[in-house]
C-alpha cells in the first residue's frame, strides 16, 4: 500500500522518523492518567508498506498530543539492533518483536509488565498472550498471530487422481498423498517443508512430537526420531524459489505447505487470476497423527515496552490504541490477526474459511517451549531437520546432537 506523503505528515506536525538509536529523553510520566510526551517505536518493515498503520499513528498524535517517533528496520536486523540498544541503555519505548524473543529479554529484566491501567490483557482471546508471558508476568500483547494451517493445490490433486475436495487430515495421509504428488525427478513434490527456517523447524517438530503424546524439546526419543525420519521422507530440500516454499506452492511445484493465515492474501497479491481460493487451492486444519492428539503449532509477534522507558503509561496507551478495532479490521484484510476478542466480526475476511479454521484451532495452539533460549533452540531444530534432509546425518545422529545442544541451552 502507498504510504502517507511526507508533505502531509510534515504539514500535520506528525511523524518523526529516526535514523538511529534513542536520544536523551527527560523523565516523563502520565498526568492524571492521560498520555503525554514522546514515544519512540521500533518495528520491522518500511513506511512504504504501512499506510494504515501510519494513519492510525497520525490520528493518535492528533487526538492525544503525543509525539510518536517511528524507526523501521529490516526484520533480520531488528533483534540485533534492539539488543545493542538495551546494552547501551537507550532502548526504544515500544518495539514489535517475535514471541520467541520475549523470554530472554524478560529474564534480563529489560521489559515492562503490561500496564493494566492503559491496556487489559483480558481483551485478548484466551491463551494468545501466553507466549508473551514469562514466569507468570505478561510482558506483551499479540499482533500478527498465526496458528498453522494446511494449504493444498486442488489442481495438483486432480492431476494426481486425488479428490480435490478431500484434503488429508493425518500425517499418514500427507505421506501417502505426497507419494502420489511427487514426480520421478523430484521437481514436483507433495508437502514441502520450509527448510532453513529456524522458527518453522521448531514448530513442525513441536507438532510431530507432541502430537504423538511425547514431551519436547527432545529428539533422542522414539517419537523424536520418528519425526525426523518422517520429515526426511517428504519434500525436496534442493528445490528453490525466491519466495521459498510459499513460492513453490504458488508455482505449483509444491502441492502442499503448512503456513499461517497471512498466506491467503499473499497469494492473492501474487496473482489472483492464477491461484484462486476454492478453485486452484484450498485450506484445511493442521494434520494430526492417526489416533493422536491435535497440536496446532503457532507463533505471534508482540508489542513490548522497555522497563527503562520514562514514559511507560503512554507507551502502553499507544499500543492499546494501535490494537483497536480499526487496526483489527485493516490487518485482517492482509491476513494479519490481532486476536482481540471479537476479531472475526471486525471485517468480511474474519468470516472466511481460513479464519474459521484459525478460530477453531485456538484451544489447541502450541507455541513450543517458552524459555530464554528459544532462539538457540529453534536454530538447533533447523540444524537437525536440515542435516537429515540433506543426508548429512541420520535421524539418530541429528537427534543426539540436538539433545546435547538443548542441555547447554536449558
Chain centroid to CA 200: how far?
9
How far, in Å, CA of 6 to CA of 409, rounded? 46
For the chain, how many helices (H) and strands (E)? 15, 13
Determine the pLDDT at residue 18.
37
SS3 content of the chain, % helix, strand, coil (to 5): 45, 20, 40
Going by C-alpha positions, the residue among 372, 142, 149, 144 that lies closest to residue 258 is 149
- pLDDT for 46 equals 63
By the 10 Å C-beta count (0-12 exposed, 13-18 middle, 19+ buried), 291 is classed as: exposed
Task: Supply the pLDDT for residue 52.
Answer: 79
Residues forming a β-bridge with 31: 34
Query: What global pTM score does this model have?
Result: 0.89
For cell 511526507, the residue is: 6
Nearest residue to 347 (alpha-carbon basis) of 52, 141, 147, 62: 52
In sequence order, what are the residues at sequence separation of 6 or more whose Cβ sits closer than 8 angstroms to the Cβ of residue 218?
Answer: 209, 224, 403, 406
Burial string for 44-58 (b: 16+ CB within 10 Å, else e) reads beebeebebbbebbb
In Å, what is the CA distance from 313 to each residue of 30, 309, 364, 372? 6, 9, 33, 26
Number of neighbouring beta carbons within 10 Å of residue 121: 16
Closest C-alpha to 1, from 333, 337, 345: 333
Report mean pLDDT in 10-residue bins for the chain, 410 residues: 25 34 46 85 76 89 96 92 96 97 96 95 95 96 95 97 98 98 97 95 98 95 98 96 92 97 88 84 97 96 97 96 91 90 91 94 95 95 98 98 91
* Residues constituting the chain: 410
Q: What is the DSSP letter of 324?
A: S
Residue 16: what pLDDT? 35
DSSP assignment of 4-17? PPHHHHHHTT--EE
Amino acid at each position: 500500500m502507498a504510504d502517507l506523503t511526507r508533505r502531509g505528515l510534515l504539514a500535520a506536525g506528525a511523524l518523526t522518523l529516526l535514523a538511529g538509536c534513542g536520544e536523551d529523553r527527560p523523565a516523563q510520566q502520565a498526568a492524571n492518567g492521560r498520555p503525554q510526551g514522546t514515544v519512540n517505536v521500533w518495528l520491522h518493515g518500511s513506511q512504504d508498506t504501512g499506510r494504515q498503520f501510519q494513519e492510525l499513528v497520525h490520528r493518535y498524535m492528533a487526538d492525544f498530543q503525543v509525539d510518536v517517533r517511528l524507526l523501521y528496520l529490516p526484520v533480520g536486523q531488528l533483534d540485533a539492533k534492539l539488543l545493542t540498544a538495551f546494552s547501551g541503555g537507550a532502548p526504544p519505548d515500544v518495539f514489535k518483536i517475535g514471541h520467541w524473543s520475549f523470554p530472554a529479554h524478560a529474564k534480563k529484566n529489560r521489559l515492562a509488565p503490561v500496564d493494566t491501567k492503559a491496556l487489559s490483557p483480558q481483551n485478548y482471546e484466551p491463551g494468545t498472550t501466553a507466549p508473551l508471558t514469562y514466569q507468570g508476568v505478561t510482558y506483551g500483547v499479540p499482533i500478527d498471530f498465526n496458528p498453522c494451517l494446511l494449504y493444498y493445490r486442488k489442481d495438483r490433486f486432480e492431476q494426481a487422481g486425488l479428490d480435490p475436495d478431500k484434503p488429508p487430515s493425518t500425517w499418514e495421509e500427507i505421506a501417502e498423498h505426497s507419494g502420489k504428488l511427487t514426480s520421478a525427478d523430484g521437481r514436483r513434490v507433495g508437502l514441502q517443508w520450509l527448510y532453513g527456517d529456524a522458527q518453522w523447524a521448531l514448530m513442525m517438530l513441536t507438532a510431530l512430537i507432541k502430537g504423538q503424546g511425547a514431551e519436547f524439546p527432545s529428539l533422542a526419543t522414539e517419537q523424536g526420531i520418528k519425526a525426523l525420519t518422517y520429515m526426511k521422507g517428504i519434500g525436496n530440500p534442493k528445490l528453490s524459489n525466491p519466495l521459498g516454499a510459499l513460492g513453490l506452492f504458488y508455482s505449483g511445484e509444491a502441492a502442499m505447505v503448512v503456513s499461517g493465515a497471512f498466506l491467503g492474501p499473499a497469494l492473492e497479491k501474487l496473482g489472483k487470476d492464477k491461484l484462486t481460493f476454492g478453485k486452484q487451492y484450498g485450506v484445511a486444519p493442521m494434520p494430526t497423527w492417526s489416533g493422536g492428539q491435535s497440536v496446532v503449532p503457532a507463533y505471534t509477534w508482540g508489542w513490548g515496552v522497555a522497563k527503562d522507558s520514562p514514559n511507560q503509561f503512554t507507551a502502553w496507551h499507544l499500543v492499546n490504541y494501535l490494537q483497536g478495532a480499526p487496526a483489527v479490521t485493516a490487518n485482517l484484510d492482509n491476513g494479519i490477526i490481532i486476536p482481540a476478542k471479537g476479531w472475526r466480526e471486525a471485517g468480511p475476511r474474519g468470516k472466511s474459511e481460513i479464519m474459521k479454521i484459525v478460530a477453531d484451532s485456538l484451544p489447541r495452539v502450541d507455541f513450543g517451549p517458552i524459555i530464554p533460549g528459544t532462539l538457540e533452540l529453534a536454530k538447533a531444530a533447523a540444524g537437525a531437520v536440515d542435516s537429515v534432509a540433506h543426508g548429512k546425518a541420520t535421524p539418530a545422529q541429528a537427534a543426539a546432537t540436538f539433545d546435547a545442544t538443548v542441555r547447554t541451552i536449558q
